């Protein structure tokens, strides 16, 4: 170069520089890694990212959040709530069907809960709602022992408003139960299988581009649970029962590919997990059915969870962006 001339060197900055949270950094690192790989077809996204100027970090962060597919990380928790509902249906059904000679019972079910977000990791909160019905029939009722079969269905909704994402579906479940009343302890066992069909929808947005990614997938779950219910305080109308138990859960979800969002859609890998939960609870309910032949009960429970194998239940999901080769 001639004396006094200026040499200009241009270089690209990794997209991780705009990330503020762990989730955003994970998405940004993938975009950086695959940018120059053969088969990457995210030209619209990269063109928009390169138009951003210093001070536009908030725009990049919002786009990274929308691209992540974070709603799928909550599916293991949805599976756990689904299996909890099978066990709860038996608990409620046997409580209202305790009259001598009664062989059939039905339990309407409804529950809702929230998965809290984590500001440090940048994970969003999500809400889960389940509604359904479980019915059962005693095949054996001799002395202090009862055993029978159960069946039911649930409608399910998982929403993650901060990511404009939702999963909606329905499931059917089948299983069996048994109960043995001893001197001061009642032992109860439940075995159940659930099959769910779900549809997902999430908004993918960057710059002025807004697309709707949609997915459809199936999940199969199993539960084996045992509980010990101890005799405690009761009156003519109310009973208070301590409960301890142990449950083994499994969930298996098929992989699927989103449609509707082009190359910004995701391919979500199959998921297989098993875990054990220890339960400690306190049940409050009516001693006798009310005037309309229905009983009521409520339960507080604390849970501990331990993993069984490498595919353990956790808040996570493995995905691949449709517009990449890796």
Place of tokens 């996570």: 316
| Helix 22-34, helix 57-67: angle, nearest 10 | 90
Q: Which domains does the chain have, with CATH numbers?
A: 15-67 (no CATH), 72-309 (2.40.128.130)
Q: What is the pTM of this model?
A: 0.81
Greater pLDDT, 17 or 310: 17
Greater pLDDT, 316 or 111: 111
Number of helices (H), then strands (E), in the chain: 4, 12
Neighbours of 6 (CB within 10 A): 5
Q: How far apart are CA 112 and CA 154, in angstroms?
A: 13
How does the average pLDDT of the chain come out, rounded? 83
Q: Report, as an integer, the average pLDDT of 217-239.
A: 85
Residue 277 reports pLDDT greater than 80? yes
Neighbours of 123 (CB within 10 A): 23
What digits encode the pLDDT tens for the residues 177-194? 999 988 889 999 999 999
Residue 159 reports pLDDT greater than 80? yes
Place of tokens 């709602």: 129
């Amino acid at each position: 170069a001639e004396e006094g001339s200026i040499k200009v060197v241009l270089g690209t900055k990794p997209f991780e520089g705009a990330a503020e949270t762990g989730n955003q950094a994970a998405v940004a690192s993938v975009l950086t890694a695959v940018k120059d790989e053969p088969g990457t077809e995210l030209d619209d996204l990269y063109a928009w990212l390169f138009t951003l100027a210093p001070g536009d970090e908030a725009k990049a962060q919002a786009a990274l959040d929308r691209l992540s597919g974070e709603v799928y990380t909550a599916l293991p928790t949805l599976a756990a709530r689904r299996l909890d509902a099978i066990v709860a249906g038996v608990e409620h059904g046997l409580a209202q069907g305790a009259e001598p000679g009664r062989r059939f019972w039905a339990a309407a079910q409804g529950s809702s809960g929230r998965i809290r977000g984590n500001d440090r990791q940048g994970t969003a909160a999500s809400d889960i709602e389940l509604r359904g019905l479980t019915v059962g029939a005693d095949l054996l009722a001799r002395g202090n022992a009862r055993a029978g079969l159960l069946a039911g269905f649930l409608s399910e909704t998982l929403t993650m408003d901060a990511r404009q994402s939702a999963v909606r579906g329905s499931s059917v479940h089948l299983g069996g139960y048994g109960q043995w009343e001893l001197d001061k302890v009642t032992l109860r066992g439940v075995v159940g299988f659930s099959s769910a069909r779900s549809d997902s929808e999430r908004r993918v947005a960057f710059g002025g581009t807004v697309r709707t990614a949609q997915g459809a997938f199936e999940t199969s779950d199993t539960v084996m649970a045992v509980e010990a219910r101890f005799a405690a305080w009761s009156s003519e109308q109310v009973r208070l029962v301590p409960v301890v138990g142990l449950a083994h859960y499994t969930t298996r979800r098929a992989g699927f590919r989103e449609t509707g969002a082009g190359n910004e859609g995701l391919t979500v890998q199959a998921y297989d997990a098993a875990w054990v939960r220890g339960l400690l609870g306190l049940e409050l309910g009516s001693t006798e059915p009310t005037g309309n032949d229905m009983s009521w009960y409520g339960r507080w429970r604390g849970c501990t969870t331990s993993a069984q194998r490498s595919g353990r239940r956790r808040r996570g999901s493995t995905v691949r962006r449709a517009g990449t080769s890796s």
